[in-house]
């Protein structure tokens, strides 16, 4: 019976996350047989695509599953203080993880604004690559 406690969430996660694999396109439009060679702009695009995939295609669905599991554990805990505490902890740590993951850009931006002069930040945003736009126009 204890094995069932681990198998049901595992297979539920597989059923929910499996359709994400259908969008199995290339991460960057370069490096293939009929495509141009990769350069720095494609590296920046790759990093952006990986971050977006992790945040929106992995972190959000997994956190929703964790919040649902926390609610189920909390509601079915009954008189068991351990289960109620476990449900509250899962909920708390899931929310903390989401806040950290989605505020990472704000944290990096705040640190850079504290360390780098205003003239440098105004001339070139740290999270954009304007040189890549120049390559696309030519």
The predicted-structure confidence for 81-99, as pLDDT tens digits, reads as follows 999 999 999 999 999 999 9
Higher-pLDDT residue of 98, 4: 98
pLDDT attached to residue 81:
92
* Ramachandran sector of residue 78 (left: φ over 0; alpha: ψ -120 to 50; beta: rest): left
pLDDT attached to residue 76:
92
pLDDT over 80 (residue 128): no
pLDDT attached to residue 138:
46
- Mean per-residue pLDDT of the chain: 80
Higher-pLDDT residue of 54, 34: 54
Dihedral in degrees, nearest 10, Cα atoms 7, 9, 15, 16: -170
The rounded distance, in Å, linking the Cα atoms of 4 and 137 is 57
pTM of the model: 0.64
Q: Residue 69's CB: how many other CB atoms inside 10 A?
A: 19
Query: Residue range 62-72: average pLDDT?
Result: 93
């Amino acid at each position: 019976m204890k094995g069932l406690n681990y198998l049901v969430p595992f297979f539920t996660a597989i059923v929910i996350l499996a359709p994400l694999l259908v969008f199995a396109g290339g991460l960057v439009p370069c490096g293939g047989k009929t495509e141009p060679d990769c350069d720095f702009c494609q590296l920046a695009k790759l990093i952006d695509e990986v971050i977006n995939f992790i945040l929106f295609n992995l972190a959000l669905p997994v956190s929703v599953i964790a919040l649902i599991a926390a609610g189920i554990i909390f509601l079915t805990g009954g008189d068991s203080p351990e289960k109620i505490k476990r449900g509250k902890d899962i909920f708390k740590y899931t929310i903390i993880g989401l806040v950290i993951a989605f505020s990472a850009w704000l944290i990096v931006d705040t640190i850079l604004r504290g360390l780098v002069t205003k003239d440098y930040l105004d001339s070139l945003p740290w999270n954009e690559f304007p040189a890549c736009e120049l390559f696309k126009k030519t």
